[in-house]
Structure 1
């Protein structure tokens, strides 16, 4: 049932109280948009899907109608409260690129899982809203079919940059988004205009050229997609460009000039994990399923599973150029998972001399049944 706040004075007090409560909960921005504020979203989403830019993320197509329009997801919604939580790093986010024996983990994943951190606080803020003004609410963080970035831009938290992520004049490119859908009719904050201008730093920074045009992202070429969402072997053409990035990629975010105005995040707020800042590839290569789960408990990394994670680690080891790391590769040539075995073969090819590679091939490829692994053993152009 649609609800409304009684008068302008009480509305002002409500919004002021909401902002104060949000700040106390650790949010760095709160803005409001009408649920009807993204009428262009359905067509843009349709074009994205028709181009195949969603890659293997079939759930995007399956939830297309709900994703494109908040009112389809929840017919009673009238206003969307968008929240930003800063995770700006206090170190060079790309420092790992200078040391090929370390693993590059996207900045957001170097902390406790943001879903756990933000959702509980969104629920608390939503409860505060209901206690002051009534109405019904629903809270969402990333996993629901909600187009958070267009809604956040419509609400005025920032604008969608040419890398398709949201950019803020106060937070740069480093912040999480969460939303509260409400049946209340709340005053809109007003949209933020695009401040990218002629800059294309984010586009030029992409190692795999994943932007077919400004404001368009082809997930099939994106390192974040390839290392997190993509199952099976990583296509050959992208492996070298991945370097030592084993979970996500921050290159386009880090290149944004607006980051120079961003504030550093409060580490206590996000619960930063020191063990994920610059882990050694050699240590990560030793993880079995049990130790993987233990090490990444409470981390978003845990969701991709040990096999996909080891695939990424082995690609990074192959790119390290360090022959001494062959000792970390060879045990995985017999791994139970074919994706891990295949990545180990590729890493072996990069680090071993021709004689050693042929020796291992002669020993191990004879009994191999998986087609993708046999392709890794075959001569490459």
Structure 2
């Protein structure tokens, strides 16, 4: 298995100096006068890929940016912003220069690679359509895991530079995590010698927005997909990526030594949110002699579920991977698979357990194939 390591490089960012609070009693500030907002950040807990996930590492907050908007319109304007770097300072309240007034809206992005990407943001809507996206590769190299969060309608009417207003923003992961396990104990006698030789993620979004416009999903503005097989020539299944998506190969979406590293703790991927039009697939690969068989499992697909009427751990049937979830996929293989990882697999070859749970929750989905 290609081990995926997260390095937590300290990338220096500029801090804005906070003003010392004094004991003077001041009159309430007039709207629009200079003031401070002190922002405290919190990250998800129980939220990596080499060995077992390290929740403490994943939840670390490194560098980032805070943007504060003002107004009651549908598209409030920027009132103030600052960068931070907790990799050298520790998680402390961050001061942002704003103006006094009601209806201040605080948006935070943590563990980003370049705060300059946000230089052109003047309204909240600019966050929804940034040309610079959060890349899936950033979840494995050079940074902690990307997070974002916001809190709205902060009343800073009485805030001054000496007496700041305060706000707390809960950060949430931009990605999800998919774990794999399998069981060959129920193989029929004519499959003796069958082994699992690899696993892939197919139809994974390559990038994500930091914030979604109301009514949309985070990856709505991303048309590029990744798939874990370098050559899809000859495959014709119904979930094969199609135009206008640009499809590229990402070796980190393939695990090649599953038989040596069996189990949820050792085999897992990071993925980004996806919609139902091109569902994300976990495809197990197995061999019997010279023949290769695939077992494609659609996350939250309509074939998920085991037992009577497929009622056990069936998932939500949405075909959607959601941000901040953990999907534990367990396959009980009981028959021959497909020769095409993109083709839907008939029930009866595999039992699947998928556990999406928010990176706090964990969701489990079973699928049974004979």
Q: TM (normalized to structure 2)?
A: 0.27
Tell which has more relative contact order, 1 or 2 (C-alpha 8 A, sep 6+): 1
More strand by share: 2
